[in-house]
Amino acid sequence: MKINDIAFYNRIRDFLDVYIVKQKKFSVNTQKSYREALSLLLTFFKEALGLSYEKVGFENLTYDNISKFLDWLETERKCSATTINQRLMAVKSFLNYCAAVDPSKIALQAEMKTITLRKAKQKTVAFLSETAIKVLVEQVNDLTSIGLRDKTLILLMYDIGARCQEILDIKLSALNLRKTEPQVSVCGKGNKTRSLPISGEIAVYLKRYLDVYHPVATRSSDDYLFYTVIHGIRNQMSPDAVALFLRKYSAKGHDVCDDVPERVRPHQIRHSRAMHLYRSGLPQVLLSEFLGHADPVTTKVYAWSDTEMKRSAIAKANPVQFSNNEDTPIWKGNEEMIRKLYGLT
């Protein structure tokens, strides 16, 4: 390999293992995402451009090549616009780092800034009605130890609106059930920690769960709250395990109530809580903090997804008129309703 090529790969290694993890303190998942993006870029150079790995260097990171890389992701890898944008941002982040440590790469960084993100479709979120959540929980028999564990996890996930992995990462040290206002600390994306309130009802369930799964005599603050036992060894519960038991309970719930999807996924529990809080009037800024969104704009997806609020507002604003009476529109002068019509609140 040429000296320049060695420097290229050394820079990738330092970016992933030093800059991302040790300096920026990004999560392991973020590091994994960036590594996958750069690995795909190398695959593109080899498969589409016929460049072996040892021939790839900084000189290949041109506007034309990166644009072709994005097209390749779409046509060959069948990636969505959102995924393509994630890969592009990873490449841009890498070049930002390179320019910071080596000014000779500033020109590459500037060239990369001219590549724009792909336009992604406005996504909506799948969520369950409050009735569906209630029916789903009722399918769990908490008189058994496994049922108690599953029900406690579902209730906690809904109560604090946390991501599945955030729930599974909770250790006993993060729980505080002794206060009059119980709470739990969760670690979200970017290793950012936030404290979330736990309702009194769920706190009771947690105490009951702790007595069964974490007896005081053997309780350790470093233990994971939810775990599975394999060959006599405790292991942190996996997202697959949660998805598996949710599938079982949702199938039973669907037989009882059509509002319950045949297959409920963990993230739908979180989305359901977020939507219910949004409908109850929780300001988007507070909802964003509650959910742990790095960018408050992300939370607007709940406004766009809430067709019921839009339908209700539109019905009030545009009543069917069969007479010639020219009544003043109900939205006239009502700034709050206008904001809701446009998904701004």
Which residue, 273, 185, 173, 266, is CA-closest to 225? 173
Boundaries of every domain in the chain? 3-113, 130-287, 306-341
In the predicted structure, residue 313 carries a pLDDT above the cut 90? no
Would you place residue 193 in the very low, low, confident or very high pLDDT band (cuts 50, 70, 90)?
confident
Backbone φ and ψ for 172, nearest 5 degrees, come out as: -60, -30
pLDDT tens column, 131-145: 999 999 999 999 999
Residue 4 amino acid letter: N
pLDDT, average across residues 157-177:
93
Task: Count CB atoms within 10 A of the CB of residue 152.
Answer: 23
Q: What is the CATH number of domain 130-287?
A: 1.10.443.10
Single pTM value for the model: 0.61
Task: Count CB atoms within 10 A of the CB of residue 75.
Answer: 9
Instruction: Give the whole-angstrom CA distance, residue 254 versus residue 54.
Output: 55
**HEC profile for 184-235?**
EEEECHHHCEEEEECCHHHHHHHHHHHHHHCCHHHCCCCCECCEEEECCEEE
pLDDT tens column, 45-103: 999 999 988 889 999 999 999 999 999 999 999 998 989 999 999 999 999 999 999 99
Check: CB of residue 238 under 8 Å from CB of residue 168: yes
What is the structure's pLDDT at 174? 94
DSSP 24: S
Instruction: Give the whole-angstrom CA distance, residue 175 versus residue 155.
Output: 15
Contacts of 42 (CB under 8 A, 6+ apart): 53, 56
pLDDT > 90 in the chain, percent: 58
pLDDT, average across residues 27-41:
90
pLDDT, average across residues 267-286:
83
Q: Dihedral sign, CA of 282, 166, 301, 136?
A: negative
What is the structure's pLDDT at 322? 42
Q: Which residue has the higher pLDDT, 160 or 335?
A: 160
Instruction: Give the whole-angstrom CA distance, residue 162 versus residue 77.
Output: 31
pLDDT, average across residues 99-122:
87
Least confident of 91-100, 158-167, 184-193, 255-264: 184-193
Q: Dihedral sign, CA of 251, 257, 261, 267?
A: negative
Tokens linked to 139: 């399918």
